[in-house]
Every structure is written in C-alpha cells, then in structure tokens.
Chain A
Amino acid sequence: NAGVTQTPKFQVLKTGQSMTLQCAQDMNHEYMSWYRQDPGMGLRLIHYSVGAGITDQGEVPNGYNVSRSTTEDFPLRLLSAAPSQTSVYFCASSRGGNQPQHFGDGTRLSIL
C-alpha cells in the first residue's frame, strides 16, 4: 500500500507565485489534514476535512485554500506565496478523529 502520498517532495517558489501541494491516500480514510512544521514549533494544523465535500480551518489557515472533492485527494493551495510560508508541509489521514494519523513524507517548501 502506498499510504499517504505527497507531491512534490521539494519546491522553491518566488514570492507571489501560487502552487498546489498534492496529497492522496489509498486507505479510504474519511479524515484528512494539512500541517506545517516549523523549527521548534511542532505541527500546526492548517486545514482539515472530515469527509468529501467538508473542510474546515485549523490553527493557521491564512494564505491557504483546500478542497475535498473525493475521499482520496486533499490538495493544499498557496494563493500568493510569502517567505513566511517557508516550511515543511505534512498531509495526514485517519479513519476517524479518535484514530492515529498516517502521515505523508512531507513537502519541503522554500519561498524566496
């Protein structure tokens, strides 16, 4: 099983550019989340979804959009990249809110 697949693994953007981080899972999990990890700050929740068609904001949603048209996919869009969005981004999925999360390998994003 592939589990949670994130693409790309690395990306460099210029300020103001937009891009989409892809996340796909093959475990038929209803719950999916996006986190960013900055040095010394742990994982902060950006957006999450409890099922197809349902999304909600997490702790740090500004500058990011999500959609969940299928159970499998949960893309994260950066609308206009800023240097403050330089981070490592993790996508995760789980069978429910009380279940452990399965994480992708992360996307390391640098914004110049």
Chain B
Amino acid sequence: AQKVTQAQTEISVVEKEDVTLDCVYETRDTTYYLFWYKQPPSGELVFLIRRNSFDEQNEISGRYSWNFQKSTSSFNFTITASQVVDSAVYFCALSNTNAGKSTFGDGTTLTVKP
C-alpha cells in the first residue's frame, strides 16, 4: 500500500521568509513518481513538479526548490522569500506508474502574511 504523510497541517509565515513543506512517502515499488500540487483559495489544483524514483537531483525553479532523498523517503518543497500569493494548500502525491493510481497527502495549508 502507498502512503503519503504531510505532517505539517498548517504553516504561517511573514512575507519574505523562507518556508519548507515536508513530505514523507511509503511504497514498495522501485519505480514511482512524486508530485507537488498547489490549491490556491480559488480552489483549482495546479501541478508544480514531478520527480521519478531514479532521479535524486534537487531542482530549483525561481523561488521554488525541491529536495528528493530516497534514503529518508522524503520529497520536501521549499519556497524562498515567500509572497502573499504563495498562500495556498500544497499537496504531495505518489503515483504507481503501472496501476495509474495516485495517493495524496492530506495537504499543508500555507499562509503568508504581509
């Protein structure tokens, strides 16, 4: 069975602070994919990044960066110099490539205060 744990239910920061959202996963598969999605207050779900189980390179995209560590089964997401527009619920998800099933974490609600 697959499981994704986002232990931080809510995080509140002040604008320009850096913030890291944690994601820990469990799977017995050797091939899998990890995703992060953003759900702003308007409610839509937006894809942010995908990482496969064989690629442990960290990735940076503007103010966003992701740290994937297979040794600790973690795929953490850092926002540098946070902005009010970053306020949203962020979901980490794990996909079994063969079955097409995705398992989502419960989400972390990030509030960035001006």
Contacts and interface: CB of A to CB of B under 8 A. Distances in A.
A110 to B, nearest CB: 15
Range for the number of chain A residues in contact with chain B: 20 to 34
Contacts, number: 65
B100 A48 contact: yes
A98 B91 contact: no
Given A42-B91, A105-B43, A106-B43, A98 B103 contact: no
Interface string B44-88: 110100101000000000000000000000000000000000000
Contacts of A45: 101-104
Contacts of A44: 104
Interface in A78-102: 88, 90, 92, 96-102
A97 B103 contact: no
A40 interface: yes
28 contacts: A31-B100, A35-B104, A40-B106, A42-B91, A42-B104, A43-B91, A43-B104, A44-B104, A45-B101, A45-B102, A50-B100, A56-B99, A56-B101, A96-B97, A96-B100, A97-B96, A97-B99, A97-B100, A97-B101, A97-B102, A98-B33, A99-B50, A100-B35, A100-B47, A101-B35, A101-B37, A101-B102, A103-B45
Interface of B: 6, 9, 33, 35, 37, 43-45, 47, 50, 52, 91, 93, 95-107
Interface of A: 31, 33, 35, 40-45, 48, 50, 56, 58-59, 88, 90, 92, 96-103, 105-106
